[in-house]
Amino acid sequence: MRRILLLRPEEKREELKIEFAEIINFPILRLVEDDFSLNDLNFDTFIFTSKFAYISFKRRVGKSIDEILKGRRIIAIGEKTASAIDFESEIPEKQNWKGIVEMVRRGERVLIIRSRDGNRNLPLELERRGAFVKTLDIYHAERIESGFEKLCSMFASGSIDAIIFSSGLIAESFFRLFEKYCVKKDILPELMVSLGEETSNKLREFNVNFIEVKKPDISMAVREVCNYFMEKFNNM
């Protein structure tokens, strides 16, 4: 059985039962809510860049959520984000910031609800294309350092076969902690998997080899890992 390390925020534990694989959830980030105020609600479109962005926004505006969002255009960056939203929402064909840019029209008034660590290209590109854009940063991520030395020991013993990176921020956090806590640097598993273009761009900065899953889907990434090792076994 292959052991796959899944790096996620601690609020997003994935309970997956996959034949031939054991999923090890390791929380590497903690999502922390920030204070915000809503002085202007005159927007045509509300964009949510993560599931947590919507959940946090809904919890804090309370019953006003209906007044704020009902009848408005809502764009969710991906299927998982859309699944959390209580109103009809649209999903870009490319489930990333570039896909959202393609959906917004010139002159559209847009509010982006996101993490303050979020991609800076989205508002800039929307403005360049003629949209009126405001951002509402309602949370941020903090690295979780406790327990990382245990990961170093698992890498050194060869007990991890693959790592799945679900975001660029997680990839950067992982390699910063790896440099800090792991004495040996040649102990990483042979297979690393990236979910989406943004994550891949960040992994390239650290000069690691990886395979990319175009769709941000954990189950699909796990299947890629299993297929990789099955093909390797068949070619022996």
Average pLDDT rounded to a whole number, residues 84-105: 93
155 and 227 belong to one structural domain: yes
14 and 111 belong to one structural domain: no
15 and 61 belong to one structural domain: no
pLDDT on residue 142: 95
68 and 153 belong to one structural domain: no
Average pLDDT rounded to a whole number, residues 98-111: 95
39 and 21 belong to one structural domain: no
110 and 151 belong to one structural domain: no
| Range(s) of the domain holding residue 68 | 34-141
- Please identify, among 141, 176, 202, the residue that sits at the C-terminal boundary of a domain: 141
pLDDT on residue 210: 93
23 and 121 belong to one structural domain: no
pLDDT tops 70 at residue 19: no
Cβ atoms within 10 Å of 41's Cβ, excluding its own: 12
Residue 53 sits in a domain whose CATH number is 3.40.50.10090
pLDDT on residue 221: 85
pLDDT tops 90 at residue 39: no
172 and 187 belong to one structural domain: yes
42 and 102 belong to one structural domain: yes
8 and 81 belong to one structural domain: no
Domain count, the chain: 2
